[in-house]
Chains A and B, each alone.
Chain A
């Protein structure tokens, strides 16, 4: 402190000292402001917004609440007795054993078996089915391998719980099973439209042939 005071007595060194102080004070100020401004990270809050009304949609988004409908949702089910364009008639082959057998007898894959359909079928199968059924249809998908879900029967070697070997399942039976599910398998008609289901059926027919 004494040395410091002595230094301050001469004018030249005083300037040096002032520069040093200004510099250090500025440094503190910058550091302080950096600390203060970096603390504003509230993850629960999207942050400042300007002209919010330009962001919000005028028409309702499908996943928005909607007070115009009795159940408060924008996404409504189609009225009963109607079939949306591109969807299948649910009542034609009901989720019963009779419906299953009728589908087996009457339904044939409407798509032509070509490379493009098979490739798309394979992609859909890998994305939508292989988690349980495995990439080769052996019932050894990732979820099954981790023992989170029991294994489904193999397409080529297993037996169907509705009788017969899995490798003998017809187009209609496979389509019916994807549509409504069976045992622990859930229905997939909401996730896959009929064309996509038929593409998967086409690829599953290939997997049935594996040895």
Chain B
């Protein structure tokens, strides 16, 4: 019995020690990336300050006009709707550019060979005429494009991507370091427990010997008896048997209780998806409405997972190249690959495949659920069932989707019948009842075809 209390004591102390230590390690791990992000931010700022000096015109004034008028169709170093603007001053002289930007169609109509060539090359897409721009404005834009074009390819972006990579790499290392550290701590504590046990035993023996009590040597008994005999001896120890049974019962009981209550409940299910799509970015930061992609939620039973053409509404332009050293983001590349889309020629190939997302919310087939009834008629926010979706980097099942969960909400939710066409009939019938008038099956919809001819 002495050993049980001993074990209890020797277990509790290291347990507290380990938890305190692991908390400390975690705190440290959180501090490290924050520090490095700060360093990266200061490193970023440096090259941005060292911008090239203007060559001709005022690039700062040009930048304002450029952002307002040109960016819907042009980028500096890649073709968007129109050609990449980098190096346009080398391709055409300034007078030609002024004429072209002010009214490109007039220039094409006049038969200018360079103008006709550009017009043909870009599928005869007409460039917006800008008669309101003065010569000075256009010279400023040209100066801005020149200074931007002279900058080495995405220097700030590259640095940022590098720093980000370092940070993410570190966080991986930190977690490995943490795990290794924890294992080490556990091993050391086990060792300490063993050594302490030995020390205590020897000390006990010394004290007992001093008192003049004869010491029974443990080793003598145990070496004589076989393993079978030892088990038999231990099984006669009622306290030990009681503790073992208690432990087993509690373990099995709690495991069984948990398992039975959670059968078929997928709460917290967070499977890995084929594309690392972040709701936190799209719905949280960019504030794209849920309906933009999940169009069906407002008008059909299913909320609909968007097909890739919806992604392409933005990602024909957005490629997150600044985060990947000038390369297209590998996650966006997955969209292009599935659509057999060539980002350089902007053409779709024939080998198109859908992305197979992993279904998270899976209501059993024997339960009917209609999204539009809840979203459009009841006016429930998506977040009420799906949780703080705008903060989820990876989506998980927030609600249990159990029958109890459904019923509790149906018991408590207030029905708003005012200005809600869905409830007009119900309210009408209740008014009739209140007035003491006759209510026929026809009033309750008893003449609908489907009531008999289903």
Contacts and interface: CB of A to CB of B under 8 A. Distances in A.
A2 to B, nearest CB: 6
A31 to B, nearest CB: 9
B101 interface: no
Contacts of B313: 181, 185-188
B110 interface: no
B11 interface: yes
B2 A161 contact: no
A55 B264 contact: yes
A20 B247 CA distance: 16
A128 interface: yes
Contacts of B268: 41, 43
Contacts of B366: 54-55
Q: How large is the interface on A (under 10, 10 to 19, 20 to 34, 35 or more residues)?
A: 35 or more
Given A151-B71, A159-B128, A184-B81, A47 B263 contact: yes
A146 B288 CA distance: 12
A32 B263 CA distance: 23
Interface in B287-319: 287-289, 291-292, 295, 302, 304-305, 307, 309-310, 312-314, 316-318
Contact of A163 (B129, B253, B314): B129
B255 interface: yes
Interface of A is mostly: loop
A161 B2 CA distance: 89
A50 interface: yes
B286 A128 contact: no
A49 interface: yes
Nearest to A189: B309
Contact of B365 (A56, A62, A127, A185): A56
Contact of A159 (B129, B200, B251, B259): B129
Interface of B: 1-2, 4-5, 8, 11, 67-68, 71-73, 80-81, 125-130, 200, 203-204, 207, 211, 239, 242-243, 246-247, 250-251, 253-255, 258-259, 262-266, 268-272, 285-289, 291-292, 295, 302, 304-305, 307, 309-310, 312-314, 316-318, 354, 356-357, 359, 362, 364-366, 396
Contacts of A50: 263-264
A183 B73 contact: yes
Contacts of B8: 24-25, 28
A37 interface: yes
B56 to A, nearest CB: 25
Nearest to A62: B302
A29 B302 contact: no
A48 B4 CA distance: 37
Contacts of A16: none
B249 to A, nearest CB: 9
Contacts of A152: 72
A184 B126 contact: no
A156 B336 CA distance: 35
